[in-house]
Amino acid sequence: MGDAATILLVDDDKDFLELERRILESRGYRVICFSDTRTALSALNAAGQAVTPDLVVTDLMMTNLDSGFTFARALKADPHTAGLPVIIVSAVSSQKGFDFKPRTAADLEAMGADAFFDKPVAPEALLDKVKELLG
């Protein structure tokens, strides 16, 4: 509590953006919100005044399905952000009949994520996972 870790939050649905922001802020985390991954990525890479979060919470299906996955993988691929824990919170866990809900650690790793939650995420579950990942 009140350790003032910074969390980067991405969701194109402003209800979820605000919901998750409030949940995270209730534990004293600093939350930076973005409604799309492109802006979030450029904020992370902005020279000089780059945002330096300790953890990322992102939606999956935004401008297109891939955006959440692409974003998570881009973070893991970049040495500056590779160490950032990523939590995916999504209402979608299947596409065209393919269930992509991760069930094992390997599934999560393939997604470039450290945790996956179905929407709406229970406040306590999200907070516990954040605490665990910030360790």
Partner 1 sequence: MSEPAPAPPADSASISALPVRAAQPARILVVDDELGVREGCRKILAAEGYEAVTAGDGKAGLEQFLERGPFAALLVDLQMPRMSGLELMREVRSRDPDIVPIIITAHATIDTAVEGTRQGAYSYIPKPFTPDELLLTIKNGLERRTLMLEARRLRQEREKRLLELASERSKSNTIIAAMTDGILVINTDKLVVLRNNAAARILPDCASREIPFPLEAITSPDVKEIVSVVIDSPGGFMILSRQIPLGQSTYMVNVSPVIEPGGETSGAVAVFSDVTEMKKLDTAKSMFVSLVAHEVKSPLAATEGWLNLILSGMLKQDAAEEHRMLQRALLRVRTLRTMVNELLSLTAIQTGNFSLKRAPVKVAALVAEVVEANREKAAEKKIVISMSGEDSGDALCVLADRDTLSMVYANLVENAIKYSREDGHVWVSVRESGMYVTVAVKDDGIGLSPEDCTKVFDEFYRARNEHTASIPGTGLGLSLVKRLTELHEGTVTVASTLGKGSEFTVSIPVLAGASDPVTRS
Strand-pairing partners, residue 56, are 8, 86
**88-107 mask for partner 1 (x: CB under 8 A)?**
---xx-x-xx----------
CB of 69 to partner 1, least distance (A): 16
**How far apart, in whole angstroms, are the C-alpha atoms of residue 48 and residue 70?**
25
In terms of CB distance, is 99 or 105 closer to partner 1? 99
CA torsion through residues 27, 32, 35, 37, sign:
negative
35 binds partner 1 (CB under 8 A): yes
Beta-sheet pairing, 94-95 with 30-34: unpaired
Residues within the interface to partner 1 (CB under 8 A): 12-16, 18-19, 22-23, 26, 35-36, 61-63, 91-92, 94, 96-97, 119-123
